Structure 1
């Protein structure tokens, strides 16, 4: 099975490369060029993010959690989502 998953060759500029070292080098060169640092600045956001809660936000965070909030959070979880760190999906629970 492992052999069937191996890359036997790749097309480079219209030429078929099937030498293992050539495939390796061409693949590395391709991904090196794709993921290199673009070196461009995308600008800065002219916005200061608040690092403190407003008094209303702090008060809301200190309120007790209601049963409705818990129910909405639990029922809002999809059953077929990817498993958590324990390996179980929400459907299991």
Structure 2
């Protein structure tokens, strides 16, 4: 079975953006929510999944992550709002409350 990779954008209540790549989106999202993530994500309480897309291989995922990270904030916001105009946490129903 081929492995999937994901490029994702997490955010917080203030809409600070964090872009990353992972091979396990549910696990990585849980790590953000539990504050078991790198310094930036902990410091800014990055805990909401605003956007994600799947890539077929790790090289494509990393290239896409770098592309998005190079964009302006306005372009990143437009990407998020193209699939998530209300900025809902896309992982809301993944975990028990």
Q: TM-score, normalised by structure 2?
A: 0.22
Bigger relative contact order, structure 1 or 2 (CA pairs below 8 A, ≥6 apart): 2
Determine which structure has more spread, i.e. the larger CA radius of gyration: 1
